């Protein structure tokens, strides 16, 4: 084997091993899209790394363990379809994804109805909902909008959302006031 090819292969093997290390990667299948921290089980990754977890670090998050989900792990959970009227065009759209509480259970979250879920978006926006509220309003972690995966730069790739049209107290509000606790660009949930 030529020296350059050998070194390249060795470097690639080292990089691959580092990328698959449990402290830094949640899933071998793809990059982590959602990180769950707080009152969870054993987790599938280690503590916050200020280099690899730059956005979380800059948003002053801290954790000793976490559970990370890639797209495949989220879409492998049972999906729910909702059709809320969205504030962006005042039209009904089809959103699909697992129930938020099913995602929390898959992460080993220890919750009761009074537990708080801090839903954090990539822009730093955070909304707090109780488990009772997430259950009553049937929050989902939407992965698809109108049949297509949601893109980063749009409402995705993940959106914590519910069908406000089916919640009487929310349906009575103007559509622009229904989704204040629904961060799009969701990337982190803390179970408190």
C-alpha 151: how far from chain center: 13
CATH class of 3-191: alpha beta
Percent of the chain topping pLDDT 70: 85
Q: What is the mean pLDDT of residues 130-159?
A: 97
Contact 62, 106 (CB under 8 A): no
The pLDDT score that the predictor gives to residue 28 is 57
Question: Average pLDDT over the chain, rounded to whole?
Answer: 88
Cα-Cα end-to-end distance for the chain: 54
In the predicted model, is pLDDT for residue 1 greater than 60? no
pLDDT digits (tens, 9 = 90+) for 34-62: 999 999 999 999 999 999 999 999 999 99
User: What is the distance between the alpha carbons of residues 152 and 131, in angstroms, rounded to a whole number?
Assistant: 27
The residues spanned by each domain of the chain are 3-191
Contact 115, 135 (CB under 8 A): no
């Amino acid at each position: 084997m030529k020296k350059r090819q050998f070194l390249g292969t060795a470097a690639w093997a080292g990089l691959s091993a580092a990328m698959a290390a449990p402290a830094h990667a949640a899933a071998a299948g793809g990059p982590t899209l959602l990180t769950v921290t707080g009152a969870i089980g054993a987790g599938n990754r280690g503590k916050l790394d200020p280099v690899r977890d730059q956005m979380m670090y800059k948003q002053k998050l801290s954790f000793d363990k976490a559970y990370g989900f890639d797209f495949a792990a989220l879409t492998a959970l049972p999906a729910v379809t909702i059709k809320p009227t969205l504030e962006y065009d005042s039209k009904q759209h089809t959103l699909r994804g697992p129930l938020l509480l099913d995602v929390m259970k898959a992460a080993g979250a220890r919750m009761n109805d009074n537990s708080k879920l801090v839903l954090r978006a990539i822009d730093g926006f955070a909304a707090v909902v109780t488990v009772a509220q997430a259950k009553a309003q049937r929050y989902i972690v939407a992965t698809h909008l109108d049949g297509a995966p949601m893109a980063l730069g749009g409402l995705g790739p993940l959106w914590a959302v519910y069908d406000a049209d089916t919640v009487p107290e929310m349906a009575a509000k103007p559509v622009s006031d229904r989704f204040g606790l629904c961060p799009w660009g969701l990337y982190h949930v803390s179970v408190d």
